[in-house]
Structures are given as C-alpha cells and as structure tokens.
Amino acid sequence: MKIIVTGGAGFIGSAVIRHIIKNTDHSVLNIDKLTYAGNLSSLKEVEDSVRYSFVQADICNKPAIQDIFSSFKLQLSNLHLNLILI
C-alpha cells in the first residue's frame, strides 16, 4: 500500500513515517510545505529507503497536489497530520 503523509516533516508526521518504513512493507509519500516546523533531518534514518519519497508542496495548492497524485499514480489512503489529532 502507498500511504500519503502530509506534514510528514513535522513532529508527529516524521514519527509516523519512521514507524511505517521500519515496521511495515508499505510505501510512504511525504508531502510537506517545509514551514518553520518542518525538519527533514528527523527522517534521516528512512530517507534512503526505496519505499520513502518526499515532495515539497503546499496541500492547499490544488494543481500541485493533482500533479503529485498523477505522477505517483496514487490511490487515496491519506494520513493528513495537519488535521488529524492523534
């Protein structure tokens, strides 16, 4: 399964991505705008995985998100960490 994590460079999102890559066979696409809160160094231990991809984009930018969905041929299975309270 391909899992989209938005806000994946943040505190919770990066922990979720590390967990998925280390403990499952699923793939992750991290979509993050990289605001002041985004920190890709939290993902160092998984960034070389073939199952991990990162795209810098604003989730409010509909055309950019549509392009990402097209290029990754994605089906929707989305952990939207900017909105979900965990």
User: Which residues contribute to the site for ligand NAD (CB under 6 A)?
Assistant: 6-7, 9-13, 31-35, 37-38, 58-60, 81-82, 85
Given a contact cutoff of 8 angstroms between Cβ atoms, the answer to whether 43 and 30 are in contact is yes
Q: Which residues pair with 52 in a beta bridge?
A: 28
Cβ-based nearer residue to ligand NAD, 25 or 42: 42
CB of 7 to ligand NAD, least distance (A): 3
Closest CB to ligand NAD: residue number: 10
13: Cβ contacts below 8 Å, ≥ 6 apart: 5, 6, 7, 30, 32, 79, 81
CB of 61 to ligand NAD, least distance (A): 8
